[in-house]
């Protein structure tokens, strides 16, 4: 899932500016995820200046898990032209937050060995079918915060819990030193028997100092 920066881009129309004609100085304006790419890329290059040992997977996780799914008024993100509430298909994991990304608490790291199999990515895409109504996945967290010990409690935010049951084991993790790793298991069970659009949920690990969220995406095929 992409990060959204809600960046505005403005330009003067493709014609020379005439100081005698003010209408030619009217700006055109656009915004969107692709326009926010330069902003996200800038954050990606700034994080290593504070954390020079972080891998690209660590930097990606820090930005994805600390992004905001609300706007600056603490309201749902809406579409600009009609103010309709949007889903992660539109805003990805949310608005990037550089300050929080500097101190994410926990990250989902990955090296070369992870990519052929169960990728430790900071999101969970799930496809249910007749043959696969139950799925069990694993994710591994790495502590990058120097303040230890720190205990995290898991919380599942699932607006469509009548369609999918989500169970996370264990429910608490205590990290006693930096770079310590713990794995947890996510059991997903479809309770839905029809066809539907894509649905979403979030898995959040929260301590007194940190809030680490990943997106879970549900899709159904031939049910």
Digit-coded pLDDT (tens) for 158-176: 988 889 999 999 999 999 9
Query: In this structure, are residues 131 and 187 in contact, taking their beta carbons and an 8 Å threshold?
Result: no
Q: What is the pLDDT of residues 72-82, one digit of tens each?
A: 888 888 876 67
Query: In this structure, are residues 13 and 25 in contact, taking their beta carbons and an 8 Å threshold?
Result: no
Q: What is the pLDDT of residues 39-51, one digit of tens each?
A: 788 889 889 999 9
CATH code of residue 34: 2.60.40.2310
Containing domain of residue 212, as a range? 3-220
Question: Residue 63: exposed, middle, or buried by beta-carbon count in 10 A (0-12, 13-18, 19+)?
Answer: buried
**Percent of the chain topping pLDDT 90:** 48
| For residues 57-62, average pLDDT | 94
Q: Count up the domains in the chain and report the number.
A: 1
Q: Which residue has the higher pLDDT, 93 or 25?
A: 93
**Percent of the chain topping pLDDT 70:** 80
How far apart are alpha carbons 97 and 140 in whole angstroms?
23
| For residues 124-128, average pLDDT | 90
| For residues 102-128, average pLDDT | 85
């Amino acid at each position: 899932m992409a990060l959204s920066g809600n960046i505005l881009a403005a330009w003067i129309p493709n014609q020379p500016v005439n100081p005698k004609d003010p209408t030619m100085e009217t700006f055109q304006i656009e915004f969107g995820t692709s326009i926010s790419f330069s902003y996200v890329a800038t954050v990606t290059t700034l994080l290593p200046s504070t954390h020079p040992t972080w891998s690209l997977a660590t930097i990606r996780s820090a930005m994805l898990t600390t992004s905001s799914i609300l706007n600056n008024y603490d309201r749902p993100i809406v579409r600009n032209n009609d103010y309709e509430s949007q889903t992660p298909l539109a805003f990805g994991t949310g608005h990037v937050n550089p300050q929080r990304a500097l101190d994410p608490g926990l990250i989902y790291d990955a090296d070369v060995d992870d990519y052929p199999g169960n990728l430790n990515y900071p999101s969970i895409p799930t496809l249910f079918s007749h043959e696969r109504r139950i799925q069990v996945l694993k994710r591994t967290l790495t502590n990058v915060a120097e303040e230890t010990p720190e205990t995290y409690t898991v919380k599942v935010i699932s607006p469509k819990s009548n369609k999918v049951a989500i169970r996370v084991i264990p429910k608490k993790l205590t990290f006693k030193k930096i770079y310590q790793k713990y794995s947890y298991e996510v059991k997903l069970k479809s309770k839905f028997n029809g066809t539907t659009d894509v649905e979403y949920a979030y898995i959040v690990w929260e301590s007194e100092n940190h809030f680490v969220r990943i997106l879970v995406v549900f899709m159904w095929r031939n049910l």
